[in-house]
Amino acid sequence: MKIQVSEALDAMAKDYSQRVIDYGSTAVAVGWADFETQDLRFKQLQKVIDLSGGGFSLSDLGCGYAAFAQALPKEMQQKMRVYHGYDISKEMISVAKENFKNNETHQFFLSSDIQEKTDYVIASGIFNHHFDAEPKEWWAHIIKTIRHMYDRAEKGIAFNVMTSYVDYQEDYIYYCDPMEMLRVCLDHFGRNVSLHHDYNLFEFTVLVKKGNA
């Protein structure tokens, strides 16, 4: 039986809360095979960050236990003035807070609603499991979410999705057509869009830069 997107998100929050209780601050807790593939994803997302302007602020939607912040290269860590992590899983947020408890630049929110604008907004892995929501409605949820990310970013956004170019499919995963995604981003966000489908995982990363950023 198909469920509403809101019910899917509730199921997802529950699932990830249990996973972080079971597996702690590990790639497996956030559904990735291992640290290497998690980090490979982060490296694609980091490409949106332009360090030539000096310091930057960043929001991480669906931050999990804040692995993205932990894995940033040293130069980026030093230049990051603000990191806001958002997640719908209560347990993920409390583990993330614990991981950065003595760090004032890092703040965490139990929410999917990005409150403050930051230079960049990124999201890794938040669109993959649709938990039996209708694919059409999940696609609408993806577009609404990336629109929200774009509205809250001063300089750019980056996110990943599973690709429809796969050799098999699981029925709980949302597989996105890269051509369709590129068209939507160009239509909604202007011409400064790049799509990276070249890092040997069954997914792709989209970077959108704003204006002169």
Residues forming contacts to ligand SAM in the complex (CB under 6 A) are: 12-13, 16, 30-31, 38, 61-64, 67-68, 86-89, 92, 112, 124-126, 145
CB within 8 Å of 199: residues ≥ 6 apart:
40, 43, 44, 205
- Shortest CB 54 distance to ligand SAM, Å: 26
Token readout for 40 is: 């490979």
CB of 64 to ligand SAM, least distance (A): 3
Nearer to ligand SAM, 126 or 208 (CB): 126
Min dist. Cβ of residue 37 to ligand SAM (A): 10
Residue 168 beta carbon to ligand SAM: minimum distance, rounded to whole angstroms: 20
Q: Which residue lies nearer to ligand SAM by CB, 126 or 207?
A: 126
**Residue whose CB is less far from ligand SAM, 30 or 161:** 30
HSE-CB for 103 with a 13 A CA cutoff: 21
Residues 6+ apart with CB under 8 A from 152: 59, 114, 116, 117, 118, 121
Cβ-Cβ contacts under 8 Å for 161 (sequence gap 6 or more): 127, 128, 142, 174, 176, 181, 203, 204, 206
Token reading at 31: 């559904």
Query: Which H or E run includes 186?
Result: helix 178-189
Beta pairing partners, 82: 57
Instruction: Name the residue with the smallest CB distance to ligand SAM.
Output: 62
Q: Which is nearer to ligand SAM, 46 or 145 (CB)?
A: 145
Nearer to ligand SAM, 38 or 57 (CB): 38
What 3-state DSSP class applies to 117?
coil
Cβ of residue 61: shortest distance to ligand SAM, in angstroms? Answer: 5
Shortest distance in whole angstroms from residue 90 CB to ligand SAM: 9
Of the two residues 18 and 54, which places its CB atom closer to ligand SAM in the complex? 18
